[in-house]
Amino acid sequence: MRAEGWNRLPMIRMTNISLLPGEKPLSLEQLIESTDHAILLQTNRSWSIDDKRYNFQFGCEIGWEIKNGKRARMVKNPSYSGITTEFWNSLDAICSRDEWILWGTPNCGKGQPQQVMGTGHGAAPSRFRGIKVGSAYKSS
Amino acid sequence: MLNKSQAGDIFDRIKKLSTADEVEVLFSGGKFALTRFANNTIHQNVAEENHIVSVRTVFGGRTARAFTNKFDDESLRQVVRSSESLAKVQHPDSDLLPLPDSVEATGSADAGATYTAPSRHFQQTAEITPELRAEGVKRIVGVAERHSLTTAGVFSSAESLDGVFNSRGLNDWHTQTSAEVSITMLGADSSGWQKANSPDVANINPLALAEIAARKAVESAHPREIPAGKYTVILEPAAVLDVVGFMFWDYSGMAILDQRSFLSGRIGTKIFGDNVTIWDDVAHPLQAGCPFDGEGVKRQRVALVENGVVKRVVYARATAERMKQSEYRDKVGPIAATGHGFALPNEMGEMPQNIVFAPVGDPQTVDQMIASTERGILVTRLWYIREVDPYEKILTGMTRDGTFYVENGRVQCGVRNFRLNESLIHMLSNVETMSVPVRASGEESFDMVVPAMKVKDFNFTEVTKF
């Protein structure tokens, strides 16, 4: 339960949800080296999810195509999307603590009257298999 | 509630306490109450009354603001001291103008049309009690129970004020009331929704809204999954409001100067369909809000788009002066303070907040739009809209609370919700028909006067699980 201040009712919300780092040593470069073909997605700038938290889409500013274990060309405005449960079931590698960063956003809004709070969400680079990329610009 | 006379006294006391070159005091606040219900019962009733005094002082181009909600002598002395000590350590702002006087605040001929703002204070709304809100909720719950649905939502009411006083003699005051009802009806595998907001509670009918929300939940039960793709869509006004709202931050002189507006290089060009004309008009009878901006400049009626052509953007005073000196000055249409600035200091400059879509000559009702649709999607509302591409204005988001498949001129069934990835430029170039504009409320954007729209080739890229 969290409340924005003394004059707001506490509500159920998750302000500090993090993904634990992988237990075995794994750097981002090692993760890339162990990947045949993928997109490394960076610099998230857009996020949207349906009201039951199934279908999501995230947009990034920059990404890198990974080919045969190496960073290849840069890709602009990459996006990824999917169904939450399918997405998390496709996770097959998480980098270890050295790569873990506490991210977050300062203005997560919830409730009526609205309560705005800062959030902290830690994660290390992770690999997900078979994820759809590029829907954001599909035929638009 | 604080009145203008009391505020004037507070301002006089602040002015005497200050040693600054110039002083500006903004007043805001009022009474706000909200009754929230879920699972067919009221579970929250909150109310607060608060008045804020915000003091901005100026010392030779340095300015800062401090605020308090206590009006005793010591508190006012402290807020003046805070504002002044903050102002003195700022870097001088070369764009900072002297405070406006009452003549400048009425606006220049280049700014836009003159107007008379209607009263937006309704005694019946100001006197709404918790019992009256509870009575409204009871009627909503009655509809839910009759349809074997579960309902959640809010019934809120407010009486608020905005005031501005400055040391050049400007003083202006605005009071208004507001009532809002938002209703979600939940079935086993479907939902419906309606929302309305007005300064006058007499314009809000909780029972009628509940009936529409319930009907949507019932009629969208057992949703079918149909593939994503390009469809003709019929967007109800709330859906139009929430998606178009994402472009109005860009109708700002500062956004052009910062080159973060999708209108950069497009002012004076036709980027939407002939049937799209958009005004910012605080005096429109279906609008609400304060008729002056963060410096006390009167909001002008401004034509933003005429027949698909972007005509101009809005300006705070300092932004207009900067634009007149900029490399863009010959490419942006009229340049003048239009009364759309935010309180200083700020980083965003200004934006239009009283959007009105002009009516078309041959409006159609939503039912007429459905009847003329061979194959399409009827959308009640959208959700979690976010910007994908800031220049092409591609937005993403989901349909929600009543999405229907239309075939051969009739609503056939509810469908699972879609994800959209659609350019606003593309969308507003493909509007086939519109309804009469209405005052609409959503969750992603501020209230506007918008029509329902029938849009061809609207881009759905994915389907969700419900």
CA B197 to centroid of chain Cα atoms:
11
Residue type, B87: A
Per-residue pLDDT tens over the stretch A8-51: 999 999 999 999 999 999 999 999 999 999 999 999 999 999 99
Residues 340-369 on B with a CB inside 8 Å of A are none
Query: Does any CB of chain A come closer than 8 Å to the CB of residue B43?
Result: no
pLDDT at B113: 59
Which has the higher per-residue pLDDT, B350 or A140? Answer: B350
Nearest CB partner across the interface for A79, out of B36, B46, B388 = B388
pLDDT at A138: 83
Report the distance separating Cα B434 and Cα B450, nearest Å: 9
Would you call B464 and A55 a contact, using CB atoms and an 8 Å cutoff? yes
* pLDDT at B110 > cutoff 70: no
Instruction: Rounding to the nearest 10 degrees, give the CA dihedral for residues B123, B125, B126, B128.
Output: 120
Report the distance separating Cα B151 and Cα B210, nearest Å: 9
* pLDDT at B118 > cutoff 70: yes
Distances (CA, A) of B258 to B192, B334, B350: 41, 18, 13
Residue of chain B with shortest Cα separation from A10: B44
Per-residue pLDDT tens over the stretch B414-463: 999 999 999 999 999 999 999 999 999 999 999 999 999 999 999 999 99
CB A82 within 8 A of CB A132: yes
Residue of chain B with shortest Cα separation from A81: B462
Nearest CA to B31 out of B161, B151, B200 is that of B161
pLDDT at B356: 98
| Angle ∠(B414,B420,B421) on CA atoms, nearest 5 | 165
Q: Please, which pLDDT band fits residue B380 given cuts at 50, 70 and 90?
A: very high
* Residues contacting B357, CB < 8 A, separation 6+: B276, B277, B278, B434, B437, B448, B449, B450, B451
pLDDT at B107: 72
Which residues in chain A touch residue B462, judged by CB atoms under 8 angstroms apart? Answer: 55, 57, 81, 135
Per-residue pLDDT tens over the stretch B249-274: 999 999 999 999 999 999 999 999 99
What are the tokens at A54? 């199934």
Per-residue pLDDT tens over the stretch B199-241: 999 999 999 999 999 999 999 999 999 999 999 999 999 999 9
Report the distance separating Cα B335 and Cα B127, nearest Å: 43
- Mean pLDDT on B332-346: 97
Q: Please, which pLDDT band fits residue A52 given cuts at 50, 70 and 90?
A: very high
Q: Is A70 exposed, middle or buried (0-12, 13-18, 19+ CB in 10 A)?
A: exposed
pLDDT at B106: 87
pLDDT at A86: 97
- Packing angle of the helix pair B130-146, B206-219 (nearest 10 deg): 30
Query: Does any CB of chain A come closer than 8 Å to the CB of residue B466?
Result: yes
What are the tokens at B123? 């005694």
- Mean pLDDT on B351-362: 97
Nearest CB partner across the interface for A51, out of B154, B383, B421 = B383
SS3 content of chain B, % helix, strand, coil (to 5): 25, 40, 40
Q: Please, which pLDDT band fits residue B117 given cuts at 50, 70 and 90?
A: confident
**What is the 8-class DSSP label of residue B224?**
B
- pTM, two decimals, is 0.95
Residues 9-68 on A with a CB inside 8 Å of B are 9, 46-52, 54-55, 57, 59
- Which residue's structure tokens are 């609008």? B287
* Residues contacting B146, CB < 8 A, separation 6+: B214
Say what percent of chain A tops pLDDT 70: 99
Which residues in chain B touch residue A83, judged by CB atoms under 8 angstroms apart? Answer: 464-465
Choose from A44, A112, A132 for mutation: most chain B CBs within 10 A.
Answer: A112
Q: Please, which pLDDT band fits residue A105 given cuts at 50, 70 and 90?
A: confident
Report the distance separating Cα B240 and Cα B369, nearest Å: 15
- Which residue's structure tokens are 């709070």? A117
Residue of chain B with shortest Cα separation from A52: B466
Q: How far is B393 from chain A (nearest CA, A)?
A: 10
Per-residue pLDDT tens over the stretch B121-158: 999 999 999 999 999 999 999 999 999 999 999 999 99
- Mean pLDDT on B6-35: 98
Q: Which helix (H) or strand (E) holds B54?
A: strand B41-59
Residues 92-131 on A with a CB inside 8 Å of B are 112-113
* Residues contacting B341, CB < 8 A, separation 6+: B293, B294, B295, B297, B315, B316, B317, B318, B319, B349, B350
Q: Give the Cβ contact number of residue B29 at 10 Å.
A: 19
Q: How far is A66 from chain B (nearest CA, A)?
A: 23
CB B193 within 8 A of CB B184: yes
The pairing of beta strand B229-235 with beta strand B375-389? parallel
pLDDT at B114: 55
Nearest CA to B56 out of B171, B172, B168, B166 is that of B166
Q: How far is A71 from chain B (nearest CA, A)?
A: 25
> Average pLDDT of chain B?
96
What are the tokens at B347? 């980083």
